[in-house]
Structure 1
Amino acid sequence: MESNKILSVESRAPALEVRDWVRGEALASFQPDRVYVLEFFGTSCDYCDEAMPDLIELQEIYKDRGVEVVAVAAGESAASADEVRSQIAAWLAQFPELNFRVGFDDTGAMDTRWMDPSFSVEIPQTFVIDRDGYIAFIGEPDKLHDVLPQVLDGTWRTSAQAQAAERERIAEDEPKARKKALRNQVKAKFAAAEKIEDWKTALAAIEEGVALDPDDLLFRQQHVHLLLHKMHDMQTGLPVLRQLIRDGINTNYKMMLEAAFFELFDPAHDYSQFPSVERFAIGKELSEHILAQARLQDDYDRAVSYLMVAAYYHASGNKDRAVELLELALQPLDGPGPDGLKDDLLQTLADYKGEK
């Protein structure tokens, strides 16, 4: 990223390019003599849930002093703009006291103009634009209660405190942003190779990604999947799978263990070239660990674990144990449950019993 493209405190605020507005009237551009709090958020971001009530409170406190909060979702995943709008509207329903504009951009313009050049990689991320149209603050929204009064009285932007805070932010965020850019390059290489089923090139890209970020679960799972299910290289793939499981156990990373499990027992995969003895030996060890951890979980998470592990027992020929686990999972679930879990349990149980 060229230095003349870096966006930081005391930079002139870029244009506001919002695809559409979900709440409030459209805002075409920042108006002079107003102070704007521009919040980047996402509907799947837990910290964004926590930030919204504070933003509502700030808007109420400072509404008579020329402050306007504007929230923009710039990274929603959906098939169309209409779906993005519906997704955001449903998420906003949990904030009935919402008192500021909310928009979204699914074109990438807001990321390109704001997030990327400021080294911002995580949300929620807040930009404060002062009355002169300059950026006075970039950072986490929980700092606004301290910063905003100083922005309003004109003492913050050029202060030593603001400059020190900005240097600290850039020192922390720039390496993350550069790693994100490299990760995106890896993903692009992989996607291009996957499209034409050039598995050798895809593998080289994924191995580059794993070297770049060994903790990235997406790269780790794709590495296993390519070796075992696309290239059928069991000699290389099985040790990589075992390492994924060991790391998941050592770090107690539940999602890593789930990812490994589905490489072993996802019915969508073809296991005809997978050595059965190795597959079920690894599956037994992994299933026993997941079941041991399940005892410490709540009813919902335990049911998810039982549903998953039942697939191992069914595939290995122990149908009775698979049925037992599903019935145990169902016992504490009274209603339909989140995400249709109870329906999934009932359907799987019927399948295993040969019933409708």
Structure 2
Amino acid sequence: MKTTYASLFLAASLPALAQKAGDQVTPEALGKLEWVQGTAPTAWEPGKVYVLECWATWCGPCIAAIPHVDELYDKYQEKGLRVIGVNVWEDGKDKVADFVKTKGDGMSYPVAYTGKGGVFETEWLKPAGVRGIPHAFVVKDGKVLLTTHPMQLSEAVIEALLAGGDAETKALDGIKEAQRKQEESGKATQAFRQAAAKKDVPAMEAAFADLKKLDPESRSLPLLELDLLIGKGEWTAAESALAKLSDNPMAGMAVTTTAQKLKQLPDAPESFRKAVTTSLAKQLEKGGHAVQFQTLAKLQWELGDKDAAKASAKRAVEWTKSPQGSKTGIPTAPFEKFSEALEKGEMPSDEEMNGWLREAMPNARPAAKVVPKEG
């Protein structure tokens, strides 16, 4: 192990179940965990910065953050950074141990396993109101400095926290302000979505304006603008907004969602429907999900391009048989029936497709409502 922990015993009177910014904490709960790699600190070392990074093997964003966390540890552990990976919200120590072993030097900091409902969950996560991971607690001299997403812990932030004093205060204030804006942006986005569900265009416009003011660089703005323009029936502008999404990392989901909405947009002109179909086809050149290929096939069929629709339906079948598709558990049979119907010159209804899907996978959501996640 890279880290050797010195001893500094804190007063027994410190609160055990208060883990929010500004609270005094002890490392007592860490000593009750099962350690996959490294050992628990018996006390916080003076002046050292502890990052307790909560993660799980099933959490994609957690796994994506591990290289960043490990780089910080490798660069700053000799200068006083202590990183502890705390596996939470999953059962199976062996699975976690195998994951850590596979990561090797890419996850070189100490790692603890707690299990569902474990002591770390009851004494840290629940008191702090943590509802999602990855999530990092940052502790220094027995006090929680902040809680944040680990990706917000840049090298500049770590250096400032290690330096202490004004640099630490400035870094903390910066993160708190970023978190405040993020929270307000989240509220504005939620307000927009609620207004969109009610088709309340004035409320959509107000929420969009709020978000644009709070975070002009938000990647969600182009997506919400498209929804707003559709809601207002400004189809030419909506086509332009759709075209601008090509470089947005969230474009795939946005285009798929828009394509699935077209059935509820009887006023949308053919030019807009063609633009959506073209955009979806372009997105799927890089690969996609069976449901996306099926959605494209339906749009192409409705526009009269039946050969392209048949080809897209076959790609949906191929996807279910691919290694990626096999891992998802999405059955092949419903998409084969869909493809066979198109070959016969028939377009199955959503009810028929949903029925086939239920037969093959009883717990599946209706195919017409499935929107695959990005990545």
TM-score norm. by structure 1 comes to 0.56
Instruction: Please state how far the C-alpha of 1:170 moved relative to its aligned partner.
Output: 3.4
Which secondary structure does the structure 1 equivalent of 2:60 belong to?
Answer: coil
Choose from 284, 288, 300 the match for 2:278: 288
Q: Give the structure 1 partner of residue 260 of structure 2.
A: 262
Give unmatched runs, 5+ long, in structure 1: 1-6, 74-83, 117-121, 228-235, 266-270
The question of 1:166 aligning with 2:172 is answered: yes
Q: Give the structure 2 partner of residue 309 of structure 1.
A: 296
Q: Give the structure 2 partner of residue 69 of structure 1.
A: 84
Matches within 5 A, 1:116-135: 124=134, 126-130=136-140, 132-135=141-144
Matches within 5 A, 1:36-51: 36-41=50-55, 43-45=59-61, 47-51=64-68
Change (3 A) 1:146 1:307: same
Give unmatched runs, 5+ long, in structure 2: 1-19, 213-218, 347-355, 357-375
Matches within 5 A, 1:26-175: 32-33=43-44, 36-41=50-55, 43-45=59-61, 47-51=64-68, 53-54=70-71, 69-71=84-86, 85=90, 94-96=99-101, 99-102=110-113, 110=125, 113=128, 124=134, 126-130=136-140, 132-135=141-144, 140=150, 156=162, 158-175=164-181
Counterparts of 2:236 and 2:319 in 1: how far apart (Å)?
A: 33
Choose from 233, 238, 241 the match for 1:239: 233
Change (3 A) 1:207 1:22: farther
Counterparts of 2:41 and 2:202 in 1: how far apart (Å)?
A: 46
RMSD value, Cα: 5.7
CA contact (8 A) 2:239 2:272 kept: no
Counterparts of 2:127 and 2:180 in 1: how far apart (Å)?
A: 15
The question of 1:251 aligning with 2:245 is answered: yes
Which secondary structure does the structure 2 equivalent of 1:85 belong to?
Answer: coil
Which secondary structure does the structure 1 equivalent of 2:164 belong to?
Answer: coil
CA contact (8 A) 1:303 1:330 kept: yes
Instruction: Please state how far the C-alpha of 1:37 moved relative to its aligned partner.
Output: 2.2
Report the more deviating stretch, 314-323 or 85-94. 85-94
One-letter identity of the residue aligned with 2:306 = K
Choose from 181, 185, 188 the match for 1:179: 185
One-letter identity of the residue aligned with 1:85 = E
Counterparts of 2:159 and 2:128 in 1: how far apart (Å)?
A: 26
Counterparts of 1:190 and 1:245 in 2: how far apart (Å)?
A: 23
TM-score norm. by structure 2 comes to 0.53
One-letter identity of the residue aligned with 1:314 = W
One-letter identity of the residue aligned with 1:283 = R
Q: Give the structure 1 partner of residue 310 of structure 2.
A: 323
